[in-house]
Structure 1
Amino acid sequence: MRRLRIADVGANPLGKPVYGALVQAGLAEVWGFEPNAAAFARLPGDDPAVRVLPHAVGDGRAAMFHAYPASEMSSLFPLSARAVGYLGHFRRHLGTETVQPIQTRRLDDMADLPRLDLLKVDAQGAEVAVLEGARDRLSEAVAVVAEMRFYRLYEGEPALWELDRALREQGFVLHRFLHQKARMLHHSQRGKVDARAIGSQLIDGDAVYIRCLEDRAVLGDDQLAHLALLAAGVFGSDDLVLWCLDELSARGGGRKGLAAGYAEFLPQAPAEEEARHG
């Protein structure tokens, strides 16, 4: 089985990538894209399994790039003063951007990019354009990890439902959230209360979409194996791993016992529950 092929659009190095363990284990190769010059300069370039490119990925059209000093805020869209005014957060970023023309590139137009197994996209509002420009490269993919905006921060960025629709149109369904970010709204008592304890306004979060598995025949054996690796090494979805291993075992080829072997490393059921389902 070949290595996993992963594209990371918006590969800003703010933390360890979720697929890092798979790369270190020699199980994945990555194409990273980051148009913010400051962020791109911090991306590692010494791993032959990780290729990093300074491209703005989108729908292939010319656009205006809003580069903020806080590189994680950079976007093809400007921050919304109305949204920031309501939320009471992100005010320090307003008016700090440098705006410059940029040519976006579609993933489908990149000749050196193969068809993917996983797309991770955090493009500050441009996620729908990235997906629309990657229909061929995603035609065999088993999963997408996308940042989803619960409350619009940028002027003109697509709404949450538009991103969900774009993913479902390409055969993906929501599997789980990896994390969700919420902030406390500003109010007169903010100096007295614990902002982390009572912050309720959802801002964004990373969502995992997987290929719809209701018709399990849509995935080949390698795709099932790749999905199992991603579920174990990126999503933390052990039940999905077991589902994939069960299906691989059912297809034969000397793969009996895969699920039972994996289950040995998971929390075990109480004796009475095991007896009930045994």
Structure 2
Amino acid sequence: MVDIGANPIDGTPPYAGLLKQGVIRLVGFEPQPDALAKLQQRKGPHETYLPHAVGNGEQATLYICQASGMTSTLKPNTAVLDHFQGYPIWGKVKRTALMDTVRLDDVPEISHIDWLKIDIQGGELTVFKHGEHKLKDTLVIQTEANFIQLYEGQPLFADIDHWMRAHGFMLHTLLEQRRRLYAPMKLKGGIHQGINQLTTADAVYIRDINQLDTLSTDQLKKLAVILHVAYGSYDLSLRLLRRLGPDFDESAYLKQIGKPLPLTLSAQHPISDAAEVHQSNAVDDAELDAVEMIFVVGCGHTGTTLMATILGESDAIHTIKRETEWFLHGQDFSTELRQEREQAIAAGKRCLLEKTPRHVYRYAKITAAFPNAKFVIDL
């Protein structure tokens, strides 16, 4: 596992559960000294952190912005930022600094990469192009992708997707979809809740499902475990594991999930069998309702991600891996809520934590649905 941009302020990473179990080895990159010090202080036996900025191997200019989350080796694109609320302030350059970068292919601490997570504010495609040797056998890549050019010359989602498809990957899902508000409109006096304009998302790419025959048995197992544990893609995980042949116990897998799956099984494994497995392992509704809800809300760039990360370190709290936006668009989230509560119970945790900053505007709706919910508000 490689994490490029491992700053702990970015929240609970998708690999946290597997790392805690000791089944993966992590190499993280974090050039910011303060963030690197925090990572070094709390690292476990399977973690290595390097102080390098990953890029094309040449010296780069770092644009240090008013909001640290906007700092990048690309210059903020004021022509675009000025259309929106907040961005003209957050993207204001305070100062610049020169720094050296290393090519991913030249890092001796890494022999190969099964799983890559990367978030470096527009520099992702450069890393891919200078890491093609190390990435040739990679199974999963989670990368931040932009839909509008927040930085000058920034590659967009289409550019990243083109590179991915050319190198044997396909898009699996989009996480953390972020929307921003056009100026001068405000919503309920605030500027942090967008309406429709997508700006960024975390794109998860996997090996093309039409090229699975090129994967070894070990790679199939790794990919299935990552999809199951980190992303909850139980349907694809099951399909991968069935390629293992008679050694794979499908019933045992369904029991481990402990929830109904949106799939149709073959005649040898009718759907009724899956239903029976679920019924025998179903969690009682009263036990589900006993899982306490915690909502981390607030304004953008106020530390909600860091707060959720800190709280998620508790042995009593299970953290949902994405911003659900459950109460923003009138969606039915009952199935996902049940799944997350079941995972909390399976992990021996009595609290479920959800972090969507814009839920600060939905206090009444949340308390109507969860009268005993607890809130952590960052302003």
Which bin holds the TM-score, normalised by the shorter protein? 0.7 to 0.9
Aligned with residue 268 of structure 1, among 242, 260, 265: 260
Question: Measured at CA, do residues 76 and 176 of structure 1 come closer, stay the same or move farther in structure 2, by a change above 3 Å?
Answer: same
Instruction: Pick closer, same or farther for the CA change 1:191–1:277 going to 2, 3 Å.
Output: closer
Per-residue deviation, residues 154-203 of structure 1 (Å, max 9, x unmatched)? 11111221111121222111011122111222234x25477677621111
Provide the aligned C-alpha RMSD in A.
2.5
Q: Deviation string for 1:235-256 (max 9, x for gaps)?
A: 22111110111111x2x5xx13
Distance 1:221 1:269, change over 3 A: closer
Q: What is the identity, as a one-letter code, of the residue corresponding to 2:197? A: Q
Distance 1:276 1:229 in 2: 23
8 Å CA contact 2:180–2:193 kept in 1: the answer is no
What amino acid is the match of 2:86? H
2:18 aligned with 1:7, yes or no? no
Q: Tell which has more relative contact order, 1 or 2 (C-alpha 8 A, sep 6+).
A: 1
Which of 19, 27, 30 is residue 26 of structure 2 equivalent to?
30
Q: Is the 8 A contact 2:220 2:240 kept in 1?
A: yes
**Inter-partner Cα distance in structure 2 for 1:194 and 1:171:** 43
Structure 2 CA distance for partners of 1:94 and 1:206, relative to 1, 3 Å? closer
Q: Which residue of the other structure, out of 224, 227, 230, is the alignment partner of 1:228?
A: 224
Q: 1:40 aligned to 2:36?
A: yes
User: Which one of the candidate residues 92, 99, 104 is aligned to 2:101?
Assistant: 104
Match 1:19 to one of 9, 15, 20: 15
1:75-117 CA-partner distances (Å, limit 9, x unpaired): 1112111111112222223434331112211111011212010
Q: What code does the residue aligned with 1:165 have?
A: H
Aligned residues: 266
What residue identity is the alignment partner of 1:102? Answer: M
Identity among equivalent pairs (%): 32
AA matched with 2:235: D
Give the TM-score normalised by the residue count of structure 2. 0.65
Alignment of 1:155 onto 2:146: no
Q: CA 1:191 to 1:169, structure 2 compared with 1: closer, same or farther past 3 Å?
A: closer
Q: What amino acid does structure 1 have at the position aligned with 2:135?
A: L
Q: Which moved more, 1:116-125 or 1:260-269?
A: 260-269
Q: Post-superposition shift, 1:128?
A: 0.4
User: Closer, same or farther in 2 for the Cα pair 1:128/1:150, shift >3 Å?
Assistant: same
Q: Output the amino acid matched with 1:7.
A: V
Q: CA-to-partner distance for each residue in 1:22-79, whole Å, 9 max, x for gaps?
A: 0000111111112223332332443121111111101212211123353322211121
Q: Residue 231 and residue 94 in structure 1: after superposition, are their counterparts in 2 closer, same or farther (change >3 A)? A: closer
Q: Which structure 1 residue ranges, 5 or more long, are not aligned? A: 1-5
Q: Which residue identity lines up with residue 110 of structure 2 in the other structure?
A: L
Give me the whole-angstrom Cα distance separating, in 2, the residues matched to 1:179 and 1:233. Answer: 18
- Counterpart in 2 of 1:247? 243
Q: Return closer, same or farther for 1:61/1:197 CA change in 2, 3 Å cut-off.
A: closer
Deviation at 1:267, TM superposition (A): 2.1
- Out of 202, 206, 223, which is 2:202 matched to? 206
* Separation in 2, partners of 1:207, 1:95: 27
Return structure 1 stretches of 4+ with deviation > 6 angstroms.
193-197
* 1:3 paired residue number: none
**Is 1:65 the equivalent of 2:62?**
yes
Q: Which protein has the bigger helix share?
A: 2
* Residues 107-256 of structure 1 aligned to structure 2 (within 5 Å): 107-188=104-185, 190=186, 192=188, 199-248=195-244, 250=245, 252=246, 255-256=247-248
Point out where structure 2 has 5 or more consecutive residues left out of the alignment. Answer: 263-269, 276-379
Q: TM-score, normalised by structure 1?
A: 0.87
Are the counterparts in 2 of residues 131 and 167 from structure 1 also a CA contact under 8 Å?
no
